[in-house]
Structure 1
Amino acid sequence: MAIKGIETGIHFQQSITVNPSLTVPSVSSAFSGFENMPEVFATAFLVGFVEWTCIEALRPYLTSDERTVGTYIDISHCAATPVGMVVIAEVELIEIIGRKLRFKVLCRDEKELISEGFHERFIINYEKFLERVKKKQS
C-alpha cells in the first residue's frame, strides 16, 4: 500500500559517533540518578537516534505542512558501545496502515549488533497538531 508516495521497502541508514554527551551519565542533566553510571551510549539517546533515522528516511516524501511523530517503540539495547565508536542505525519501512508507519530497526557499532526491534511513526499535519497542543494547554 502506498500513501502520498510512501511505500513499504524504504531503507535508510545513518551513523553517529558516540561522544561523552551521548552517554548514560549525560542523561542525568534531565533525570537524576544517572551520574554514576558507565560512560557508554545511553539507551535514551539510542531511542532518539532511531527516531531521527526514521525522520530522515521519510523527509523526502512529506509535504512542507507534514511531520511525523513517534507513537511506539519496541527495541532492545543488547550491547554497550563505548565513547569513540560509531553506531549505525538501519531502518526499513515494513508496514503502512493509514497514516501509521511501522519500521524494522537494526543498530550496530563497529563490533556487533547493539539493538533491534520496531518503531512506529504517525504522519501529522503540523499546524493542526500545534492547534491541538495549544488547546490542551488552555
Structure 2
Amino acid sequence: MSAKELAVGLKHTEYMTVEERHTVPAVEPRWPGFADMPPVFATAMMVGFIEQTCVEALRPFLGEGEHTVGTHVDISHVAATPVGMEIAATVELVSVEARTLHFRVFCLDEEGLIGEGNHQRVIINTERFMARVGRKADG
C-alpha cells in the first residue's frame, strides 16, 4: 500500500444508467434459463457494479503493482430496476485486517434501495498473483 494508508470510514459512490446489456436475459446468452426472464437489472451486474465501486474507492491507496480481488460477497437484491433508470452504489470501508478489506455496500435506484450487504476484498501483488494463476493453469 502507498504511504497514504487506508482508514475505516472511507466512502465512495459511483453512478450508472441501467442499459439492456445489464439485464438478466443479457447476462449470458448461452444460459437458456435467463433468456425469458424479465429485462431488469441483473443481480450479477449489481455485484459487478459494487466491485467496480470498491476498486475505484481503493485505487488512490494502492501501490505500484497492487490490485484488489473480491473474495466474499453477501448481498441481497430486494427490488427490480428497469432499463433507463440511474443507479448508485455506495461502499464504506468498515474494517481493515492486514491486506483484507471489509465493506458495507448499498445500491439504490431512483426509487430507493435495491440491494445491500457486505463485500470483502484482498490486496494482492499482481505479479505474484498471476504467477500462481499460471502455475494452476499449467496443472
TM-score range, shorter chain: over 0.9
Q: Structure 1 residues 90, 41: CA separation in 2 closer, same or farther (over 3 Å shift)?
A: same
Give the structure 2 partner of residue 75 of structure 1.
75
Unaligned runs of 5+ in 2: none
Give the structure 2 partner of residue 12 of structure 1.
12
| 2:47 is the counterpart of 1:47 | yes
| 2:104 is the counterpart of 1:99 | no
The separation in 1 between residues aligned to 2:119 and 2:39, in whole angstroms, is: 26
Give the structure 2 partner of residue 115 of structure 1.
115
Cα deviation code 1:82-128 (max 9, x no counterpart): 00000100000000011000000011000010001000000000000
Unaligned runs of 5+ in 1: none
What is the percent sequence identity of the aligned residues? 51
The separation in 2 between residues aligned to 1:50 and 1:73, in whole angstroms, is: 10
Shift of 1:28: 3.0
Shift of 1:30: 5.0
The separation in 2 between residues aligned to 1:130 and 1:91, in whole angstroms, is: 27
Give the structure 1 partner of residue 129 of structure 2.
129
Q: TM-score, normalised by structure 1?
A: 0.95
Q: Give structure 1 regions of 4+ aligned residues with deviation exceeding 3 angstroms.
A: none
What is the RMSD of the two structures over their aligned residues, measured on CA atoms? 1.2
Q: TM-score, normalised by structure 2?
A: 0.94
Aligned residue identity for 2:83: V
Aligned length: 136
Q: Structure 1 residues 9, 29: CA separation in 2 closer, same or farther (over 3 Å shift)?
A: same
